[in-house]
Amino acid sequence: MKLITLVALIVFCWSASSFSSVDQSIIPVLNYSHDIESELRQVDNNYLVVVPEINRFPAGSQKQRFEQALNILEEVINSQEFKERVIGYTRANGKRSFQKNYLWRDRTELLTNDKIYSIIMEGDEKMIPSSLGEMNLNSYVKKCNWFMRYARKWCRGVIGSTSPYSSKWISMNWKFYRKYKTSEMVSNITHEWVHLLGFLHGRTNMREEVPYVIGAIASQITREILSRDGLAD
């Protein structure tokens, strides 16, 4: 009886976070409109401060990459390239918009790319309401073991997850992070943090959703910065 209860609890917990995780099989295609000069002028250039609070990561060479990812995030998010690509992002249908372009708190208000960019730069995390203008990062690495056999989908294919309704924490799957490049870490961290702002997943066209696209844009700019500075990814 205890085992059944335990399994049910685990299934419930993972189901609750199923709309706030990263699936390795979903790869966004990044296309941008360059006819956005008027929109760029109308959107304020707010500065988002990256605040690494508590981040638990195993010692070793990968931790150096993880720290590099945290260090470069502020430059990435506040770059002009990030602003242009978020506002200029276009879907496969040619429209300058995102799939599931609304916050879970208000599904009736459809958000333009411009507004989504502004929400990101406001840094209004649900569980840390008093830290506007900050990208607060709290994370830990999770290693799959016998206890997690009941969550095999997460162990096999989920890179990271969070619970935006009730937690400020981002969990990272060691299966991926133990071999990830800096740019891949940036992508996942950004993706999960965007969930904490209130953007969740649907069931269709997920690669065009806000978390996946924003994470991919951040990764793309990270690679460009590292290449420019002659640093390894």
Give the CATH number for residue 57.
3.40.390
What is the C-alpha separation between 175 and 62, in angstroms, rounded? 12
Note whether residue 155 is domain-resident: yes
pLDDT (tens digit per residue) in 171-221:
999 999 999 999 999 999 999 999 999 999 888 888 999 999 999 999 999
Note whether residue 53 is domain-resident: yes
Note whether residue 10 is domain-resident: no
The count of structural domains within the chain is 1
Tell me the pTM.
0.88
Note whether residue 2 is domain-resident: no
Note whether residue 203 is domain-resident: yes
Q: Place 16 in a pLDDT band, splitting at 50, 70 and 90.
A: very low
What lies within 8 Å, CB to CB, of 58 at 6+ separation is 141, 174
What is the distance between the terminal CA atoms of the chain, rounded to a whole angstrom?
49
Note whether residue 15 is domain-resident: no
Range of the domain at 139: 22-228
Note whether residue 1 is domain-resident: no
